[in-house]
Amino acid sequence: MKHLTRDNLFLLLLTGTLLFFTLHIPQTIYRQEDFRHVELGLPLPFIVQDQGITPPLPWQTYLASMCENPVKINWPQFLIDIFFVFGLLKFSSRFYYLKKMI
């Protein structure tokens, strides 16, 4: 039983790490108005950031400093992302254990 708990803890940590890295995938902005509502995160965007800058367009942006740019976390989408990625990793890990047993 401890082995399963340790595996689940590892998968949960890996899920959090993967979701954190999705915040740094560049988003292309084509209109100035879109800098007020930059959606970040995959598979569902769970962070909305007001970057309030005016660079030349099109512009690629990612998660900017949270101290200077307000951030809103969409909790339902974040929880859905956690369940989805965790479930996908859990499903994938079954193939690893199945191969190990054969």
Closest CA to 17 of 89, 95, 94: 89
Average confidence (pLDDT) over 6-30: 92
Q: Give the CB-side neighbour count of residue 102, counting CA atoms within 13 A.
A: 6
Residue at token pair 């007001």: 50
What confidence score (pLDDT) does residue 48 get?
Answer: 93
What confidence score (pLDDT) does residue 6 get?
Answer: 85
What confidence score (pLDDT) does residue 68 get?
Answer: 83
Question: Which range, of 19-23, 34-38, 45-49, averages the lowest pLDDT?
Answer: 34-38
What's the token pair of residue 85?
């990625």
Q: How confident is the model at residue 96 (pLDDT cuts 50, 70, 90)?
A: confident
Residue at token pair 């740094």: 24
CA distances from 32 to 53, 56, 85 (A): 8, 9, 32
pLDDT digits (tens, 9 = 90+) for 17-27: 999 999 999 98
What confidence score (pLDDT) does residue 14 get?
Answer: 94
Closest CA to 47 of 16, 19, 83, 71: 71
